[in-house]
């Protein structure tokens, strides 16, 4: 029995007079690849920010593995096993690629000394190397992160998100700004990642996610429009109406 790993209950987000999200209730199953989709302005990013810990909802609750985590601070999310990548690439620009991942992995050590040299923690360095290998950046270990091409930086972010060995991986438009080949590589990587942990994806390009996701959540004007398997969504009249003119 696959109990939900993440549950969003009646999430509402209000910015002054603007309602970004209203009454969104979704349960995400573990070990599944779920995509949150919708046209631009649907509230996907706001929803993503709520479930990834960047934004505290005005109303509603979030439960992770049964535990209420509403209002928890951003850094507590990673410690609980929820890792994320941002819509706009967020890495440590002047640090090397290897150091970026090593630092992300360092959080596994709950207590670290002030006087211990970090370069002696070789297991973290080895881990960083293997993660970078996985995303195809092994050769870039010694480059400053800001010297990477855009697509490579997105891969770096994935490596950093994996560094804390998360149970839940949240990716906000991971293919944004990538070339078609890079996009294919990324979707491949995500599919493989979803085999070992739960992945929730935010995307606005429907075509990308239809083929690989087990479940889709469709948002529209801040509300839940539909949810189900790709086939369910394809057949859904409401969804077709909303995406009128877009190829499905």
Partner 1 sequence: MSSIDITDVVSPRGAPQGSRTVLQRSMEFITRHRVAAVIALLVLLPWLVPYEALAVNILIFGLFAVGFNLLFGYTGLLSFGHAALFGSGSYGAGIAIVHFGWPWWLAIPAGVTLASLVGLVIGYLAIRSRGIYFSMVTLALAQCVYFAFYKAGRYTGGEDGLRGITVDVINVFGWRLDFLHPTTKYFVLLVFVAAALWFISRVLASPFGAVIEGIRENERRAAACGYDVAATKLIAFVISAAVCGLAGTLRALHLSTVPIESLHYLTSGHVVMMSLLGGMGTFFGPFVGAAFVLLIEEFATNFTKYWQLLVGLVFVVFVLFFPRGIWGSILHWLGRR
Pairing of strands 33-37, 18-29: unpaired
Site stretch for partner 1 (CB under 8 A), options 19-27, 96-104, 180-188, 225-233: 96-104
Contact call for residue 94 and partner 1 (CB under 8 A): yes
Position among 30, 69, 72, 95 found at the interface with partner 1 (CB under 8 A):
95
Contact call for residue 67 and partner 1 (CB under 8 A): no
Binding mask 98-127 for partner 1 (x = CB under 8 A): xx--xxx-xx-x--xxxxxxxx-x---x--
Q: Nearer to partner 1 by C-beta: 78 or 242?
A: 78
- Please work out the total of residues on this chain that contact partner 1, with binding judged by CB under 8 A: 44
Contact call for residue 64 and partner 1 (CB under 8 A): no
Binding mask 160-199 for partner 1 (x = CB under 8 A): x--xx-----------------------------------
Site residues (vs partner 1, CB under 8 A): 52-54, 73-79, 83-84, 86, 90-96, 98-99, 102-104, 106-107, 109, 112-119, 121, 125, 141-142, 144, 160, 163-164
């Amino acid at each position: 029995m696959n109990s939900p790993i993440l549950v969003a209950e009646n999430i509402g987000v209000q910015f002054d007079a603007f309602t970004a999200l209203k009454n969104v209730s979704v349960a995400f199953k573990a070990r599944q690849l779920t995509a949150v989709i919708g046209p631009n302005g649907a509230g996907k990013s706001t929803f993503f920010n709520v479930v990834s810990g960047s934004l505290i909802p005005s109303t509603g609750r979030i439960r992770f593995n049964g535990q209420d985590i509403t209002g928890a601070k951003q850094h507590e999310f990673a410690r609980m096993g929820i890792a994320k990548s941002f819509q706009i690439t967020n890495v440590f620009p002047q640090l090397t690629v290897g150091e970026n991942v090593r630092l992300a992995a360092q959080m596994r050590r709950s207590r670290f000394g002030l006087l211990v040299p970090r370069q002696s923690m070789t297991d973290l360095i080895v881990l960083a190397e293997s993660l970078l290998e996985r995303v195809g950046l092994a050769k870039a270990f010694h480059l400053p992160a800001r010297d990477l091409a855009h697509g490579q930086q997105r891969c770096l972010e994935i490596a950093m998100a994996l560094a804390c060995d998360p149970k839940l991986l949240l990716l906000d438009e991971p293919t944004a700004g990538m070339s078609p080949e890079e996009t294919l590589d990324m979707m491949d990587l995500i599919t493989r990642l979803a085999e070992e942990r739960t992945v929730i994806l935010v995307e606005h390009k429907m075509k990308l996610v239809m083929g690989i996701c087990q479940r889709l959540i469709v948002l529209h004007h801040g509300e839940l429009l539909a949810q189900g398997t790709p086939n369910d969504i394809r057949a859904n009249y409401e969804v077709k109406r909303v995406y009128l003119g877009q190829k499905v």
